[in-house]
């Protein structure tokens, strides 16, 4: 019985929820893995905040061009049909509700879908927000990809975020290494959980009350590494 998905498996599971024809923005870091697992029969257009639609995969070493990078500053390629545009247009697309899905990491997600992912509020930290606040309010659907708990075992899904917010009431679904949780009107509802973790154990690892004990199904992912 699976008691935990790998990061790549979480990316695979999230990718199954992205629909054919979606315009998708992947956040920096873990969310970038999602691009590897889009089902072959779906055509997705990836948006990068620095002014790209139709972004392709990582280039071969001899094709690297640092004028063609993604939001994470990594070299990428263009697909046929792709387009470049300036930053104000790029964020007009984001704020204007033209991006169907964005995938973001999280420090914390609250029961009502508040997202905290830019600052831990420490006095010595250099604050850095990037495009996360624009994506959080602008994308039609905000999917969060995160470990269920911190490395120290602290809750990441909580009643109220203790860290400064990125956006209020913006998260639709959280994909973790042990569960898929939809943030509904009535609160967090477990859609899927791994078989190796009981609902009670899932609840004990979560800092807010979960619904869905009787309705959730098994969280499965193929061995993608």
Partner 1 sequence: MIDKIIENLAESVSVIEDGAVVLISGFGESGNPTELVHALIDHGARDLTLVNNNAGNGHVGLAALLESGQVRKMICSFPRSSHSEVFDTMYVGGRIELEVVPQGTLAERIRAAGAGIGGFYTRTTIGTPLADGKERRIYNGEEYVLEDPLYADVALVKANLADRWGNLTYRLAARNFGPIMCTAAKTTIVQARQIVDLGEIPPEQVVTPGIYVDRVVEVANPGSEREMIENDVHYPAGGAE
Q: Is 114 in the site for partner 1 (CB under 8 A)?
A: yes
The answer for residues whose C-beta is within 8 angstroms of residue 11's C-beta and 6 or more apart is 30, 31, 33, 34, 36, 37, 145, 224
Structure-token match 């979560």, residue found: 206
The dihedral over CA atoms of 120, 15, 63, 49, expressed in degrees to the nearest 10, equals -50
Q: Is 57 in the site for partner 1 (CB under 8 A)?
A: no
Q: What is the strand order of the sheet 45-48 is part of? A: 78-84, 52-55, 45-48, 23-26, 101-104, 141-145, 173-175, 179-184, 187-193, 217-218
Question: What minimum distance in Å lies between the beta carbon of 222 and partner 1?
Answer: 33
Binding mask 151-190 for partner 1 (x = CB under 8 A): -------------xxxxxx---------------------
Question: What minimum distance in Å lies between the beta carbon of 6 and partner 1?
Answer: 25
The answer for residues whose C-beta is within 8 angstroms of residue 93's C-beta and 6 or more apart is 23, 47, 99
Q: Is 51 in the site for partner 1 (CB under 8 A)?
A: yes
Of 42 and 87, which CB lies nearer to partner 1 in the complex structure? 87
Among 9, 22, 25, 90, binds partner 1 (CB under 8 A): 90
Q: How far is CA 100 from CA 17, 40, 93, in A?
A: 12, 19, 10
Q: Is 223 in the site for partner 1 (CB under 8 A)?
A: no
Q: Is 103 in the site for partner 1 (CB under 8 A)?
A: no
Cβ count near 70 (within 10 Å):
19
Among 56, 59, 105, 130, binds partner 1 (CB under 8 A): 130
Question: What minimum distance in Å lies between the beta carbon of 120 and partner 1?
Answer: 12
Measured CA to CA, the distance from residue 207 to residue 205 in angstroms comes to 7
Q: Contacts with partner 1: how many residues (CB under 8 A)? A: 41
Residue 58 among the catalytic residues: no
Tell me how far the alpha carbon of residue 1 is from its chain's centroid.
26
Among 42, 43, 63, 86, binds partner 1 (CB under 8 A): 86
Q: Which residues bind partner 1 (CB under 8 A)?
A: 48-52, 65-69, 73, 78, 84-88, 90-92, 94-95, 114, 124, 126-134, 137-138, 164-169
- So which residues are the catalytic ones? 49
């Amino acid at each position: 019985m699976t008691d935990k998905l790998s990061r790549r498996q979480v990316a695979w599971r999230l990718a199954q929820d992205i629909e054919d024809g979606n315009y998708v923005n992947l956040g920096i870091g873990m969310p970038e893995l999602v691009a590897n697992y889009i089902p072959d029969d779906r055509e997705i257009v990836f948006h990068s905040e620095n002014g790209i639609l139709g972004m392709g995969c990582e280039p071969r070493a001899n094709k690297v061009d640092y004028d063609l990078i993604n939001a994470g500053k990594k070299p990428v390629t263009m697909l046929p049909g792709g387009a470049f545009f300036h930053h104000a247009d790029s964020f007009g697309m984001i704020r204007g509700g033209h991006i169907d899905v964005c995938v973001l990491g999280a420090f914390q997600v609250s029961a009502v879908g508040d997202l905290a992912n830019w600052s831990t509020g420490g006095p010595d930290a250099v604050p850095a927000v990037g495009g996360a606040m624009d994506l959080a309010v602008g994308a039609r659907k905000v999917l969060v990809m995160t470990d269920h708990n911190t490395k120290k075992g602290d809750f990441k899904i909580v009643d109220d975020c203790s860290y400064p917010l990125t956006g209020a009431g913006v998260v639709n679904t959280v994909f973790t290494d042990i569960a898929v949780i939809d943030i509904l009107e009535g609160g967090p509802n477990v859609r899927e959980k791994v078989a190796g973790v009981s609902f009670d154990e899932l609840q004990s690892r979560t800092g807010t009350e979960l619904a869905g004990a009787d309705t959730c199904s098994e969280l499965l992912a193929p061995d993608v590494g």
